[in-house]
Each structure stands twice: as structure tokens, then as C-alpha cells.
Amino acid sequence: PAAQTNFAHHWMPFTNNRLFRETPQMFARAEGVHYVTPEGDTILDGSSGLFCTPAGHGRREIADAVHAQLMTLDYTPHFQRGAPISFTLAERLAEILPEGLDRVFFASSGSEAVDSAMKICLTYHRARGEGQRSRFVSRNWGYHGVNLGGTSLAGMVNNRREFSGVTCDVVHMRHTWTEEQRYTCGQPETGAELADDLEEICRTFGADTIAGVFVEPIAGSIGTIVPPKGYLERLRAIADKYGLLLIFDEVITGFGRTGSAFAGQEFSVTPDVMTMAKALTNGAVPMSAVATTAKIQDAIFAAAGEADRPELFHGYTYSAHPVACAAALATLDVYRDEKLFDRARDLSPRFLDLIFGLRNLPQVVDLRGYGMMAGIQLAPADKPGLKGSLVQRALFDAGLHVKATGDALIVAPAFVATDGELEQMTDILRRVLGRAEL
Ligand code: PMP
């Protein structure tokens, strides 16, 4: 209906796109792994919304917890006051967080978690008398949200360039996926050489000017790029050698997407700081978190205590929002009771089989996957970047929601999807990507 799609007042992002404005793709309802449009058409959800809903849409347990919390304590400020529920949540998270990462700071979005993590790193170095460590290193093609910190870390050049006047000092390493490798599945045998970029940057810029190195353990937003063997281990070793902090952005990969609770665990590499969001509440309520170590928190608190000032000049109105905490606790219960991280691991071989079965289709040039996340690199278009939108549109019309970024599709179904539903998703992909022209 016209009233729902009147662009006069509602500024949605990324809608200066004829395809969307002429025929907006809207959802009115969702349940399980399905969306329903305002017109009543059912659309399979192939991306868990946006990597948000491993337990499927419309979970009664989460809805009930949110409602009960709203009626008990709907809001409390989080500056020197709070509610017991956020302490309970931090404790519950500590049970599944990687060993040692048991100090948790709450925010509302992935972008907020990223900027909070950056400030924690900077404050830690300052607490240790190394305030000159103010520069970060991240990777080409990485994505870390759109606040100014995350924009600076962004490895997608367009996202960064527009705001170059106000971005922070960040040096970008090569990604495992370089321009030259763009349309090949080929990954270098070993990641050690690639990680040496970090060593080179330390030498060029001076290791003692660098606060930390920020990476997604498996890059998600660009369509699932798995690091080559030894890459993350080598980053860890170089970070330790030069006193940099290693930050894993697990906003996409966290909460079972790879089969482990967190992707770093798949590679047996533990960062110093970790961000998470999205699946923390199964997408139901905005919430994110930063986890760090006692060593980092203690150093920050000790220095602030000596100077008699706040430990961290940072915090949000909605940090540890009680309703978000209730949603997260109910979500963690669902993950535990339904063993959903194990389910992701068990389902992954079938899912990846189906995805890799799409090879040789006219519109597909590369297929990548890990756990319950996959990337489909599309045949290059005349106008790079537009192809993804066109294909996303065609898939929507055929009954499948997937996220497109540039010329890649992201497939990341809920872990509660059945074999049959995964087959339906890949059938639609095969039909659309099998067309010679799009
Ligand atoms: N980091 C990563 C790795 C992400 O994928 C995203 C969002 N896709 C963000 C940060 C930003 O999260 P948000 O959109 O919730 O701010």
C-alpha cells in the first residue's frame, strides 16, 4: 500500500536505487525461516535477516521475556546504576566466551561495539603510559560498521573515502582476498606470508604507534572469506611480539555461525578484545557487547583509580538496556536448550554441499563457505556493484531473501532450517543464477 512506501518522509539507507524505489521489497511478518510480504507472499529467509536470527524468527521464548521485562523494569540508566539482569547476562556470556575474555561491556549495535572496542584499546595503552599508540591496523575488504571508528577501519574503500576528512588513523593490510584473486577460489596455502603485512606495517609506521589490529576472523560482509592456514595464528604472534592488541570483530561470526560459539575458537586463536551483536538477541532487540580480559580491565581501572577519574570516558544511554538483556538471556537459553551451535556444525556439510553444487552456473564465478555462512561471487557486470542488487531483486521475486554486497551474495540461513528448506533455498538460487541474462 502506498502509505507504507511513501519516501517523502522516511529516509531509508541505500534506497537511492531505482530498483528499490519503483518496487520496494517489504516484509510485514516473519516466522521460522520465512518472511511474509504485505501482499501475503511467502519469502524464504536465506540470510537470517542479516545474520541475526540463528534460532528463526518469531521465537515465543524471547517475546515473552521481552514483554515480562518491559512490565517489570523497562529502563534504567547504566551510569553508576543499573539492574541485576545485566550482571546475570555478563555471567552467562562468560560461560560461552573464549577463555579469558570474561569482562563484558554492553552497547546497542555492532558499530557501537566496534567504537567501544577501539576506545577500550586506546584507554588500555594510555593506562600503561603508552598513549602514543593511537593508530589501528585493519584489512582491505573488512567491514566494521558505520560509526566513525568503524568507518575508519572499513576496508571497503568507498565506505571510507566519503568521510576521509574525519576518519581515524588506520593502516590497511591486504586481505586474503585481493583484487587480483577476486574471481578465483584460490587462497594462498599458508597465511603466514600474508600476515607479514602486519610486521611490515609495524616496521614502517613504528610498532609503538599502533594500538591494535582489528579483523573479522572470517570476513562476512564481503561474502565469507576464510583466512588461509596459519593467518590468524601469525597475526596473534606478531601482535604479541610488538605489544599490539588483537581485536576480533565477531558481529557476524559469533553465536554458532561457524559451528563454534565464536569463530576464533575454530582457529584456536584468542583475541584480546572481541565484539559481538546481531545473534546476541537473535535479532529481536538491538544489543551488542565487547568482551575483553581481566588484564586489560584491571590496567584501565588501576590507572583511573590512581588518578581518581572515570576508567573509561564512554558509555551509552542504552548500554545494558534491561529489555535487551532479557532478550539476550532468553536467546542464550534457546541456543543452549536446542543445542543450536552443535546443530550449525551438523548442518554445515549439507548446507555447503548444496552451495558448492551451484558451481558452473552462468552467473556464478566463485563459491565460498564455512559453517553456516557462504558467499556467492557473481559474474562481473558492466557496472560493478549493481549486479548484486539486480540478482537480489530477481531472487526476491522468485521467493528468496538473501543479502547482496557489491557483486556477492551472502547466504547464511538460520540453524533451525530443515534439510528441505535448505534445498528450497538452493533450488531458487539455481533457477535464478542459471539464467544466462539478468
Ligand atoms: N562488524 C561487522 C563484522 C559487521 O558485519 C557489522 C554489520 N553487518 C557491524 C560490525 C556493524 O553492526 P551494526 O550494523 O549493528 O552497527
| Per-residue pLDDT reduced to its tens digit, 51-80 | 999 999 999 999 999 999 999 999 999 988
Q: Phi, psi (5° rounding) for residue 53?
A: -120, 65
Q: Could you give the strand order of the β-sheet that contains 408-411, starting from the edge strand earlier in sequence?
A: 364-370, 373-378, 408-411, 403-405
Q: Phi, psi (5° rounding) for residue 385?
A: 100, -30
**Is 62-337 in the same CATH topology as 2-55+339-433?**
no
DSSP assignment of 58-69, as one string? --HHHHHHHHHH
CA–CA dist 248, 99 (Å, integer): 14
Confidence of residue 387 (pLDDT cuts 50, 70, 90): confident
Query: Would you say the C-alpha torsion 111, 380, 411, 189 has a positive or negative sign?
Result: negative
Which residue from 146, 151, 278, 410 has its CB within 8 A of the most atoms of ligand 1, so it is best to mutate? 278
Confidence of residue 304 (pLDDT cuts 50, 70, 90): very high
pLDDT at 380: 74
Note the pLDDT tens digit of each residue in 100-128.
999 999 999 999 999 999 999 999 999 99
User: In sequence order, what are the residues at sequence separation of 6 or more whose Cβ sits closer than 8 angstroms to the Cβ of residue 58?
Assistant: 30, 31, 32
Residue with cell 572515570: 310
Q: What is the C-alpha radius of gyration for the chain, rounded to an integer number of angstroms? A: 22
Amino acid at 274: M
pLDDT at 190: 65
Full 3-state SS string of 299-360: HHHHHHHHHCCCCCCCCCCCCCCHHHHHHHHHHHHHHHHCCHHHHHHHHHHHHHHHHHCCCC
Residue 164 has pLDDT above 60, yes or no: yes
pLDDT at 383: 62
pLDDT at 335: 98
11-15, 134-138, 300-304, 378-382: segment of lowest average pLDDT: 378-382
Q: How far is the CA of 111 from the centre of ligand 1 (A)?
A: 6
250 CB within 6 A, ligand 1: no
User: Where are any strands of DSSP class E within 64-157?
Assistant: 103-107, 135-139
Residue 195 has pLDDT above 90, yes or no: no
pLDDT at 384: 61
Kindly give the number of the ligand 1 atom that is closest to the alpha carbon of 150: 10
The structural domains of the chain, with segments of one domain joined by +, span 2-55+339-433, 62-337
pLDDT at 157: 83
What integer is the mean pLDDT of 249-260? 98
CA–CA dist 189, 366 (Å, integer): 18
Mean pLDDT of all residues in the chain?
92
pLDDT at 1: 45
CA–CA dist 94, 101 (Å, integer): 7
User: Where are any strands of DSSP class E within 135-203?
Assistant: 135-139, 170-173
Superfamily of chain region 2-55+339-433: Aspartate Aminotransferase, domain 1 (3.90.1150.10)
Q: Give me the percent of the chain exceeding a pLDDT of 90.
A: 77
Which residue from 143, 222, 262, 281 has its CB within 8 A of the most atoms of ligand 1, so it is best to mutate? 143
144 CB within 6 A, ligand 1: yes
CA–CA dist 118, 359 (Å, integer): 40
Q: Give me the percent of the chain exceeding a pLDDT of 70.
A: 95
Q: Phi, psi (5° rounding) for residue 210?
A: -105, 130
pLDDT at 180: 45
Confidence of residue 2 (pLDDT cuts 50, 70, 90): very low
Q: Could you give the strand order of the β-sheet that contains 29-31, starting from the edge strand earlier in sequence?
A: 29-31, 34-36, 42-45, 400-401
Class of domain 62-337: alpha beta
Q: How far is the CA of 206 from the centre of ligand 1 (A)?
A: 29
Max CA separation in the chain (angstroms): 68
Confidence of residue 4 (pLDDT cuts 50, 70, 90): low
Residue 3 has pLDDT above 60, yes or no: no
ipTM, 2 dp: 0.99
CA–CA dist 148, 284 (Å, integer): 25
Confidence of residue 187 (pLDDT cuts 50, 70, 90): low
Residue 175 has pLDDT above 90, yes or no: no
What integer is the mean pLDDT of 132-147? 95
pLDDT at 185: 45
CA–CA dist 216, 137 (Å, integer): 12
